[in-house]
A and B are shown apart, each in its own frame.
Chain A
Amino acid sequence: MATPPVAVSGLRKSFANQTVLNGIDFQLEAGKVTCVLGRSGTGKSVLLRLLIGLETPDVGTVCLEGQDMSTASPRQLNEARKKVGFLFQQSALYDSMTIGENVAFPLRRHTKLSRADRLDRVHQLLASVGMDRDLGKMPSEISGGMQKRIGLARALALEPTMVMFDEPTAGLDPITAAEIAKLIVELRDQRQITSIVVTHDLHTARTIADRLIVLDQGNILFDGTFEDFNRSDIPFVAQIVKDAA
């Protein structure tokens, strides 16, 4: 049996006296888009940070591409991270670097590409997100939607097999949000990239998700397809469906 891209088992995480995740288990399927929904403060972003090893679990394990993140050495952790792209909620572009330098950063660090080849690759990546004209601009000179696109181009620089999205459409207008959603679907359809998307936006989730996970009070309340989600009689899920209608 193939190793799942992400396997989470008995995951618990608390901050001070507040339990954020209360022993959750799930596995991601390769080449599929999984959306994680839930109220603010239910630990959706913390879950992503645990998956990529930015936080350590109190109890439980996270296996990324078969690598247990809690027992990995720094070198193993970095090798696992190279296979994963991460799009932050606020894009997290390096504000002392130009757009081109931001996208080139992982290439400069982890590949032996010549300067010319690197520049070609940066152009390709920026073109794939529709942003190949503003190479020399600083992140502060472009809009939030553009920053998200650049963040995505940077996340794709090392040709990851999986991408994690933290609220990719938050704060964007509906048109830009739809464009970002389209890019996520293209990653799945054209490159077979596995995605996990944390979002509040049910409309985006409906467009992109092969599978939905709903978190509530640190537990998985629902795990299934959008059709199952629409038919669910779990009160919280039914309420979300009703509010979105």
Chain B
Amino acid sequence: MPDTAIPHPFMEDLRACGKPVLTILEWVGDLGLFCWRAAKALVSPPFEGAEFLRQLDAVGAKSLPLACLAGAATGVVLSLQTRDSLTRFGARSLLPAVIVYSLLKETGPIIASLIVCGRVGAGIGAELGSMRVTEQIDAMEVSAVDPYKYLVATRILACIVAMPLLTVATDFVGVLMGWVATTLMEPIPLTLFLSTGFKGATFGDILPPTLKTAIFGLIIGSVACFQGMRTRGGTEGVGRSATSSVVLASLFIVLADVVLVRLIIEVF
């Protein structure tokens, strides 16, 4: 006898709700497998030294002007914004310390990470996506070259190494431009600005926030490579991969920052 039973509306709703959940679970599962393959490629020889250096240049050196510009703008804005507030509370002498501490501990790392995420994340997502849809990644595989080793591991490692270095540059330019903005309003020698700003500062104040950006680099590299490698559907798919790389990596950076800040406060 043919099955003529009409599906219960609740089951239909359940199926409709279940589909996005399954999609998310599939994405998480794929990401897990991707990370496993990438980690294996990262630690097993032979190592792709030349390609890593090329990626370090693309991720690090080529992002340097942008990171410095962002740091400079942040330093100036911090100086202008906090000056008024501190004057109101009679604490204007704390201005150098506020600029230095807020830049080094949080603003510098997060601004540098988000700027690099926008530039590098979109670039990696689009590049690998384009290679995927034009069969260049398949061509690499049939040439007996592991694309996870050659394309993915090198990019992730470059992001991990470049991020703290770019953060140091962002912090440096931010502090310098913070002094410039301050001294334009009320002249103060650079040495005095720095000695007041860094008064009482320890390595615990500077190193962990800078080094945490290596985790942000890991997030940028992993998410962008993952989205790029799973690109489907021609040029439209490449666009989607570039966009989703930036959006997801930015989101994960902000979420990871919450956890890392808490961890740093606990440990240091």
Contacts and interface: CB of A to CB of B under 8 A. Distances in A.
26 contacts: A53-B141, A54-B141, A78-B144, A78-B146, A79-B144, A81-B142, A81-B144, A82-B144, A84-B142, A86-B139, A88-B138, A88-B139, A92-B136, A93-B139, A94-B136, A94-B140, A95-B130, A95-B131, A95-B134, A95-B136, A105-B145, A106-B144, A106-B145, A110-B144, A154-B139, A154-B143
B57 interface: no
Contacts of A78: 144, 146
A231 interface: no
Interface string B115-148: 0000000000001001100111011111111100
A96 B55 CA distance: 13
A53 B131 CA distance: 19
A94 B141 CA distance: 13
Contacts of B136: 92-95
B20 to A, nearest CB: 18
Interface residues of A, number: 25
B143 A105 contact: yes
A95 B135 CA distance: 11
Contacts of B145: 105-106, 109
Interface in A85-125: 86, 88-90, 92-96, 105-106, 109-110
A21 interface: no
A74 interface: yes
Interface size class of B (residues with CB under 8 A): 10 to 19
Contacts of B141: 53-54, 81
Interface string A17-58: 000000000000000000000000000000001001110000
Most chain A Cβ neighbours within 10 Å, of B130, B135, B138, B143: B143
B154 to A, nearest CB: 13
Q: Is the interface of B mostly helix, strand, loop or mixed?
A: helix
Most chain A Cβ neighbours within 10 Å, of B130, B138, B140, B144: B144
Given A82-B144, A88-B139, A109-B144, 5 more contacts: A54-B138, A81-B142, A81-B143, A88-B138, A89-B135
Contacts of B143: 81, 105-106, 109, 154
A208 to B, nearest CB: 21
B125 to A, nearest CB: 15
Contact of A92 (B139, B144, B146): B139
Contacts of A77: 144
Nearest to B50: A108
Interface string B229-240: 000000000000
Nearest to B138: A54
Contacts of A96: 127
A53 B138 CA distance: 10
A207 B130 CA distance: 35
